[in-house]
Amino acid sequence: MPAAVSKNCEVRIIGGSLRSRRIRFAERPGLRPTPDRVRETLFNWLGQDLEGRDCLDLFAGSGALGFEAASRGARRVLMIERDAAAARTLQTNREVLAADAVEVMRVDALEFLQHHRGRYDVVFLDPPFADDCWPQLLALLPQCLKPGALVYCERAEPLDAASGWKIVKAGRAGQVSHQLLKRAEHEQ
Protein backbone atom coordinates (compact mmCIF):
# COMPACT_ATOMS: atom_id res chain seq x y z
CA MET A 1 0.00 0.00 0.00
CA PRO A 2 1.49 3.39 -0.96
CA ALA A 3 2.52 5.79 1.81
CA ALA A 4 0.10 8.56 2.68
CA VAL A 5 0.10 11.32 0.10
CA SER A 6 -1.00 14.82 1.04
CA LYS A 7 -2.83 17.11 -1.37
CA ASN A 8 0.26 19.25 -2.03
CA CYS A 9 2.40 16.19 -2.86
CA GLU A 10 1.70 16.19 -6.56
CA VAL A 11 3.20 17.63 -9.72
CA ARG A 12 1.72 18.24 -13.13
CA ILE A 13 3.24 16.76 -16.29
CA ILE A 14 3.92 19.78 -18.49
CA GLY A 15 4.22 18.33 -21.98
CA GLY A 16 3.53 15.44 -24.32
CA SER A 17 0.73 12.89 -24.39
CA LEU A 18 0.22 13.00 -20.61
CA ARG A 19 0.25 16.80 -20.45
CA SER A 20 -1.72 18.25 -17.50
CA ARG A 21 -2.03 14.84 -15.81
CA ARG A 22 -0.88 14.86 -12.22
CA ILE A 23 1.43 12.46 -10.45
CA ARG A 24 1.26 12.08 -6.72
CA PHE A 25 4.16 11.27 -4.45
CA ALA A 26 4.69 10.36 -0.82
CA GLU A 27 6.39 12.83 1.49
CA ARG A 28 9.87 11.43 1.99
CA PRO A 29 13.01 13.00 3.50
CA GLY A 30 15.10 14.72 0.82
CA LEU A 31 12.46 14.27 -1.91
CA ARG A 32 11.91 17.48 -3.87
CA PRO A 33 10.40 17.22 -7.34
CA THR A 34 12.07 19.14 -10.13
CA PRO A 35 10.14 22.42 -10.46
CA ASP A 36 7.98 23.04 -13.55
CA ARG A 37 10.22 25.85 -14.80
CA VAL A 38 13.34 23.66 -14.59
CA ARG A 39 11.59 20.72 -16.31
CA GLU A 40 10.47 23.07 -19.08
CA THR A 41 14.05 24.26 -19.59
CA LEU A 42 15.39 20.70 -19.53
CA PHE A 43 12.97 19.44 -22.17
CA ASN A 44 13.66 22.48 -24.33
CA TRP A 45 17.34 21.49 -24.15
CA LEU A 46 16.59 17.84 -24.96
CA GLY A 47 14.02 18.61 -27.62
CA GLN A 48 10.34 18.13 -26.95
CA ASP A 49 10.18 14.73 -28.67
CA LEU A 50 12.08 11.84 -27.09
CA GLU A 51 10.60 9.30 -29.52
CA GLY A 52 12.59 6.07 -29.50
CA ARG A 53 15.03 7.13 -26.78
CA ASP A 54 15.92 5.00 -23.78
CA CYS A 55 16.01 6.98 -20.52
CA LEU A 56 17.34 6.20 -17.06
CA ASP A 57 15.95 8.14 -14.09
CA LEU A 58 18.29 7.46 -11.17
CA PHE A 59 17.00 8.70 -7.81
CA ALA A 60 13.51 8.84 -9.37
CA GLY A 61 11.80 10.18 -6.23
CA SER A 62 8.51 11.71 -7.40
CA GLY A 63 9.06 10.46 -10.95
CA ALA A 64 8.56 13.94 -12.41
CA LEU A 65 11.48 13.64 -14.85
CA GLY A 66 10.82 10.06 -15.89
CA PHE A 67 7.08 10.48 -16.43
CA GLU A 68 7.78 13.68 -18.37
CA ALA A 69 10.16 11.71 -20.63
CA ALA A 70 7.57 8.95 -21.11
CA SER A 71 4.94 11.56 -21.93
CA ARG A 72 7.24 12.90 -24.65
CA GLY A 73 7.58 9.54 -26.40
CA ALA A 74 10.59 7.85 -24.78
CA ARG A 75 10.69 4.18 -25.79
CA ARG A 76 11.76 3.12 -22.30
CA VAL A 77 12.13 4.91 -18.98
CA LEU A 78 13.77 2.93 -16.19
CA MET A 79 13.14 4.57 -12.81
CA ILE A 80 15.51 3.65 -10.00
CA GLU A 81 14.40 4.39 -6.43
CA ARG A 82 15.71 2.89 -3.19
CA ASP A 83 12.94 4.14 -0.88
CA ALA A 84 10.20 1.49 -0.66
CA ALA A 85 7.29 3.92 -0.20
CA ALA A 86 8.47 6.15 -3.06
CA ALA A 87 8.94 3.11 -5.34
CA ARG A 88 5.40 1.87 -4.57
CA THR A 89 3.99 5.30 -5.37
CA LEU A 90 5.93 5.40 -8.65
CA GLN A 91 4.45 2.02 -9.57
CA THR A 92 0.95 3.23 -8.70
CA ASN A 93 1.41 6.33 -10.87
CA ARG A 94 2.71 4.15 -13.71
CA GLU A 95 -0.48 2.09 -13.55
CA VAL A 96 -2.85 5.07 -13.18
CA LEU A 97 -1.24 6.83 -16.16
CA ALA A 98 -0.97 3.61 -18.19
CA ALA A 99 2.65 4.62 -18.78
CA ASP A 100 3.74 1.34 -20.37
CA ALA A 101 7.20 2.70 -21.28
CA VAL A 102 8.00 3.13 -17.57
CA GLU A 103 9.61 0.42 -15.45
CA VAL A 104 10.26 0.91 -11.73
CA MET A 105 13.08 -0.84 -9.87
CA ARG A 106 13.61 -0.59 -6.13
CA VAL A 107 17.39 -0.56 -5.69
CA ASP A 108 20.14 1.84 -4.62
CA ALA A 109 21.35 3.91 -7.59
CA LEU A 110 25.06 3.28 -7.07
CA GLU A 111 24.49 -0.46 -6.60
CA PHE A 112 22.42 -0.46 -9.78
CA LEU A 113 25.20 1.26 -11.76
CA GLN A 114 27.80 -1.19 -10.47
CA HIS A 115 25.87 -4.20 -11.79
CA HIS A 116 23.65 -3.01 -14.65
CA ARG A 117 24.83 -3.23 -18.26
CA GLY A 118 22.02 -1.47 -20.12
CA ARG A 119 22.78 1.64 -22.19
CA TYR A 120 20.77 4.85 -22.37
CA ASP A 121 20.33 7.95 -24.53
CA VAL A 122 19.30 10.23 -21.65
CA VAL A 123 20.09 9.92 -17.94
CA PHE A 124 18.49 12.03 -15.21
CA LEU A 125 20.58 12.52 -12.04
CA ASP A 126 18.75 14.23 -9.21
CA PRO A 127 19.96 12.74 -5.91
CA PRO A 128 19.02 14.30 -2.57
CA PHE A 129 21.08 17.47 -2.21
CA ALA A 130 22.63 16.13 1.05
CA ASP A 131 24.09 13.07 -0.73
CA ASP A 132 27.70 13.39 -1.83
CA CYS A 133 27.70 10.63 -4.44
CA TRP A 134 28.72 12.69 -7.49
CA PRO A 135 32.30 11.35 -7.88
CA GLN A 136 31.03 7.74 -7.85
CA LEU A 137 28.09 8.55 -10.16
CA LEU A 138 30.26 10.22 -12.79
CA ALA A 139 32.82 7.41 -12.62
CA LEU A 140 30.23 4.61 -13.03
CA LEU A 141 27.92 6.27 -15.53
CA PRO A 142 29.95 6.07 -18.79
CA GLN A 143 29.41 2.30 -19.09
CA CYS A 144 25.63 2.96 -19.23
CA LEU A 145 25.71 5.58 -21.99
CA LYS A 146 25.03 5.18 -25.67
CA PRO A 147 27.21 7.28 -28.00
CA GLY A 148 26.00 10.88 -27.85
CA ALA A 149 24.02 10.34 -24.64
CA LEU A 150 23.06 13.35 -22.54
CA VAL A 151 23.14 13.43 -18.73
CA TYR A 152 20.99 15.87 -16.78
CA CYS A 153 22.34 16.88 -13.34
CA GLU A 154 20.40 18.71 -10.65
CA ARG A 155 22.16 19.99 -7.52
CA ALA A 156 22.21 22.83 -5.04
CA GLU A 157 25.50 24.09 -6.53
CA PRO A 158 26.77 23.81 -10.11
CA LEU A 159 28.81 20.73 -10.88
CA ASP A 160 32.40 21.27 -12.02
CA ALA A 161 33.02 19.36 -15.22
CA ALA A 162 34.87 16.23 -14.18
CA SER A 163 37.52 14.68 -16.36
CA GLY A 164 35.97 13.26 -19.51
CA TRP A 165 32.74 15.31 -19.20
CA LYS A 166 31.67 18.43 -21.05
CA ILE A 167 28.97 20.84 -19.83
CA VAL A 168 26.62 21.35 -22.79
CA LYS A 169 24.04 23.62 -21.07
CA ALA A 170 23.66 25.10 -17.59
CA GLY A 171 21.11 27.12 -15.69
CA ARG A 172 19.85 28.07 -12.27
CA ALA A 173 16.32 28.53 -10.93
CA GLY A 174 16.01 29.54 -7.29
CA GLN A 175 17.98 27.03 -5.23
CA VAL A 176 18.36 24.55 -8.09
CA SER A 177 21.39 24.42 -10.35
CA HIS A 178 20.85 22.26 -13.44
CA GLN A 179 23.25 21.15 -16.14
CA LEU A 180 23.30 18.97 -19.20
CA LEU A 181 26.50 16.93 -19.65
CA LYS A 182 27.97 14.84 -22.42
CA ARG A 183 31.02 12.59 -22.51
CA ALA A 184 33.94 14.38 -24.16
CA GLU A 185 34.61 11.41 -26.46
CA HIS A 186 31.07 11.75 -27.82
CA GLU A 187 31.64 15.30 -29.02
CA GLN A 188 32.83 14.35 -32.52
Query: Mean pLDDT throughout 75-83?
Result: 96
> Residues with Cβ < 8 Å from 57, sequence gap 6 or more?
63, 65, 66, 69, 77, 78, 79, 80, 123, 124
CA atoms within 13 A on the CB side of 124: 31
Q: Does the domain at residues 10-186 carry the CATH identifier 3.30.70.1140?
A: no
Predicted structure pTM score:
0.89
Pairing of the two strands 145-155 and 120-125? parallel
Q: pLDDT band for 50, please (50, 70, 90 cuts).
A: very high
- Give percent above pLDDT 70 in the chain: 91
What pLDDT shows up at residue 155?
Answer: 86
- Does the structure show a pLDDT above 50 at 74? yes
Reported as a single tens digit per residue, the pLDDT across 106-157 is 999 999 999 988 999 999 998 877 777 888 999 999 999 999 999 999 888 8
At residue 30, does pLDDT exceed 80?
no
User: Could you tell me the residue ranges of all domains in the chain?
Assistant: 10-186
From the list 88, 87, 78, the residue with the least C-alpha distance to 112 is 78
Q: Is 108 left (phi over 0), alpha (psi -120 to 50) or beta?
A: beta
CA-based end-to-end distance of the chain: 48
